[in-house]
Amino acid sequence: MAHARTTIDCDVLPKFTAAYLRVAGDEAAFIEAHTGHAVPRLMAALGEQGLRPEQVRWVVVTHAHLDHAAGASALLARCPHATLLAHPRAARHLIDPSKLVASATSVYGAQRFSELYGTIDPIPAERVRALADGETFALGDATLQVHHTAGHAKHHFIVDDPAVDSVYTGDTFGLVYPALQRGVRFAIATTSPTDFDPVEARKSIDKVLSLGRRAACLTHFDAVEDLEEVAAQLRHWIDVSERLLAFEGDRREELRREYIADAARRGLTLTEADLTLLATDLDLNAQGIAFAAERGQPS
């Protein structure tokens, strides 16, 4: 049976957020749903592979953060035979997204929420399957397996896909924006609210490596094959973030300085355009560290 993996640019910014179309024979799965605004791009990618919406068997989200899962209800509406696969903690919030919607709307306001994420509708429980740690699912003649990976979010899992020698890592294996890969690797960890846990984050990185796959398929952005190098950089950023738990100054500004200094050590000069690209991550990472500091670490 023919197997293929395609990266789809979901286009918040070019090459900023990815979803993956996984094809096995005459069956397909989307891994990550992004937002409702990305659904036309996902469906176009499906058509380019000569497949119909009825052939989509699964929509898989690695966790319930809205840049990964907000489009799940709209995508399922377009794919009538598909079932959503999610971590048990994520599944319940996608069946009843009222808390997710209310929380994000309180931050952004209704108009900005709609601009960012589209409409998030409840997903019928019968179209949702919550996957336990280590559980498998079939796609054509392939067997994929999920592994729960806390550290970034308690409702996060990764998806091991031996048939194409890949693991889909969501946010567990950091952020590798193509615009910042200028002759050297530059990867950063994501510590966004509210579940950052450095102990669990390190365990999750180790789990990704333990699978021994050729490629790690990141949501932000695309597949990477130098897994040991990326892992080493992520461990560095987790160490920095753990140190900042006790920092009493401006964590965002300290992280910004660390990014600039670390890039320079690697031979990369971060421009103002680069720092603008990283601005949202700087905000979220600093907020996540602050949440963890208030909660108390290590877990």
What radius of gyration do the chain's Cα atoms show?
A: 18
**What is 1-131's CATH topology?**
Metallo-beta-lactamase; Chain A (3.60.15)
Model confidence pLDDT, tens digit, residues 147-199: 999 999 999 999 999 999 999 999 999 999 999 999 999 999 999 999 999 99
Q: Confidence band (pLDDT; 50, 70, 90) for 48?
A: very high
Q: Confidence band (pLDDT; 50, 70, 90) for 123?
A: very high
What is the percent of the chain with per-residue pLDDT over 90, rounded to a whole number? 93
Query: Identity (one letter) of the amino acid at 272?
Result: E
Domain 142-299 part of CATH 3.60.15.10: yes
Model confidence pLDDT, tens digit, residues 71-82: 999 999 999 999
- Where residue 161 falls (left for φ over 0; alpha for ψ -120 to 50; beta otherwise) is beta
Is there a shared CATH topology between the 1-131 domain and the 142-299 domain? Answer: yes
Q: Confidence band (pLDDT; 50, 70, 90) for 103?
A: confident
Q: Which of helix, strand or coil describes residue 280?
A: helix
Model confidence pLDDT, tens digit, residues 106-117: 888 999 999 999
**Average predicted confidence (pLDDT) for the chain:** 96
Model confidence pLDDT, tens digit, residues 231-269: 999 999 999 999 999 999 999 999 999 999 999 999 999
Average pLDDT over residues 53-61: 98
Quick check: 139 pLDDT over 50? yes
CB-based contacts of 11: which residues, under 8 Å, 6+ apart? 17, 38, 41
Quick check: 299 pLDDT over 50? no
Q: Domain ranges for the chain, please list them.
A: 1-131, 142-299
Would you state the pLDDT for residue 295?
Answer: 87
Helix runs in the chain, H state only: 39-48, 66-69, 72-78, 88-95, 98-108, 110-117, 198-210, 227-244, 251-265, 272-277, 279-295
Quick check: 47 pLDDT over 80? yes
Average pLDDT over residues 43-52: 97
What is the percent of the chain with per-residue pLDDT over 70, rounded to a whole number? 99
Residue 192 and residue 291 in contact, taking contact as beta carbons nearer than 8 Å: no
Global pTM value = 0.96
Three-class secondary structure assignment of 84-106: EEECHHHHHHHHCCHHHHHHHHH
DSSP letter at 47?
H
Would you state the pLDDT for residue 298?
Answer: 46
Quick check: 63 pLDDT over 50? yes
The token pair at 182 is 């200028």
Quick check: 141 pLDDT over 80? yes
Would you state the pLDDT for residue 290?
Answer: 96
**Residue 161's beta-bridge partner residues?**
166
Integer Cα distance of 105 and 227 in angstroms: 37
Model confidence pLDDT, tens digit, residues 273-296: 999 999 999 999 999 999 999 987
Residue 25 and residue 140 in contact, taking contact as beta carbons nearer than 8 Å: yes
DSSP states of 4-28 as a string? Answer: EEEEEE--SSTTTSEEEEEEETTEE
Integer Cα distance of 197 and 97 in angstroms: 25
Would you state the pLDDT for residue 171?
Answer: 98
Quick check: 297 pLDDT over 50? no
Average pLDDT over residues 14-36: 97
DSSP letter at 269?
P
CB-based contacts of 149: which residues, under 8 Å, 6+ apart? 156, 157, 158, 170, 172, 200, 203, 204, 207, 208
